[in-house]
Amino acid sequence: MLHGHLLNKKLKNNTKKFTFFYPGNINQKTGGYIYEKNILKFSKKNKFPINFIELSSNYPNPNTQDIKNLNKITSNIKSDNILIFDGLVIEGLHKSINIFDNFKIIALIHHPLYLEYKGKKSEEFFKRAIKIYKKIDYFIVTSLNTKKLLSETFKINSSKISIVEPGIEKFKKYKKIPSKKIKLLTCGSIIERKKYDYLINEIKNIDNIQLNIVGDVSRESKYTNKIKKLISNNNLKDKVILHGKISQLKLENIYSICDFYISTSEYEGFGMSLANAALSKIPIISYKTSTIQKTIGKNGVLYFDNHNKGTLKKLINDNCFNNKKYKILKKNIKNKKYLTNDQSAKIFIKAVCNA
């Protein structure tokens, strides 16, 4: 890794220009957007030539007008520019791969999207990835697991893949208001992969518990409506709170009042929100994945390994209402070292310069 003035000198001497495409509002408080906004802020501060362009939030399923807009934008970009695509955008371009023909292309892949789905939808995204990834010159991923997946499953040469882990900053802490309720927090877009329906069904019959969900509700409208109906039909509006898009201040306040961070997702590219929880000394309940085990470790974490009915409910009942167990979990959370936002952004920019 380059440090200090050596990297700053490299950035100043860089003659390449980059255009970074991302979908929707970059100010959302979910992992991928936070990662990309950190790069945006760092590049502006250091006057590094990356032009960030917001595309439709419809990606990875753009409509005809979305594709026309992208074609219009790229037609006005000089061919010596290097184009960087967020994974959500790039996996929506399977019918428009001609966009890649005149440029060097870098893809930022948090994880291939086929992992978010099951059945025919998963197969469709897998086919998209096979077609699209062949056109990519270089990949940046957020974990070793994703690099291995690209190398082994998609046969991409490992020399064409860089790992750039996200920056994790310690949140400000605010006074915790005493409550008889056990307060849970989970962060992430309302999408099927996150398995919020399983989580809600597991906690709906537990007394004195409240679930806070922070995340974009527009990614998968059908699934969002399913979650809203589940809350409404079971009269859970006081037990399950959908916060949607929120400010950094509100996010920090929610982290401060919650007793446990919980993740029921079967796959995470890195697990930024869980890392934030660990730094905030909040015990974690998580589905057992190799990525999360690497990101967080074992201390201060309660893992479960299936989504069977009653599994999570029993784990919560056996552990979350016992103050002695809670204090032990909290005490056991290790001060794991993560990259800062600036460190992560520096490594990202070094990677795109060398791609």
CATH 3.40.50.2000 in the chain: give the residue spans: 4-167+339-354, 182-332
* DSSP assignment letter at 114: G
Provide the residue count of the chain.
355
Task: Tell me the pLDDT of the chain averaged across its residues.
Answer: 91
d(CA 224, CA 197): 10
Tell me the backbone φ, ψ of residue 161, rounded to 5 degrees.
-130, 125
| pLDDT tens digits, 127-176 | 999 999 999 999 999 999 999 999 999 999 999 999 999 999 888 999 88
What DSSP line would sit under 208-269, residue for residue?
Answer: SEEEEEES-SSTTHHHHHHHHHHHHHTT-TTTEEEEES--HHHHHHHHHH-SEEEE--S--S
Q: For a pLDDT cut of 90, what percent of the chain falls above it?
A: 75
| Bond before 112 cis per omega within 30 degrees | no
| pLDDT the model gives residue 138 | 97
By the 8 A CB rule, do 171 and 257 touch?
no
Using the structure block, give the residue that is written with the tokens 């499953």: 153
In the structure, what pLDDT confidence band is assigned to residue 3 with cuts at 50, 70 and 90? Answer: very low
d(CA 195, CA 336): 27
d(CA 160, CA 344): 19
Full-model pTM: 0.85
Which amino acid does the sequence have at 98? N
Name the strand (E) or helix (H) holding 284. strand 284-287
- Count Cα neighbours of 286 within 13 Å in the Cβ-side half-sphere: 29
Query: How big, in percent rounded to 5, are the helix, strand and coil portions of the chain?
Result: 45, 15, 40
- Beta bridge partner(s), residue 86: 108
| pLDDT tens digits, 5-22 | 455 555 555 678 999 999
Does pLDDT of 2 surpass 50?
Answer: no
Decide: residue 73, CB within 10 A, 0-12 exposed, 13-18 middle, 19+ buried: middle
CATH superfamily of 4-167+339-354: Glycogen Phosphorylase B; (3.40.50.2000)
Residue 71, token pair as written in the block: 């074609």
| Three-state DSSP state, 133 | helix
d(CA 5, CA 271): 31
* CATH class entry, domain 182-332: alpha beta
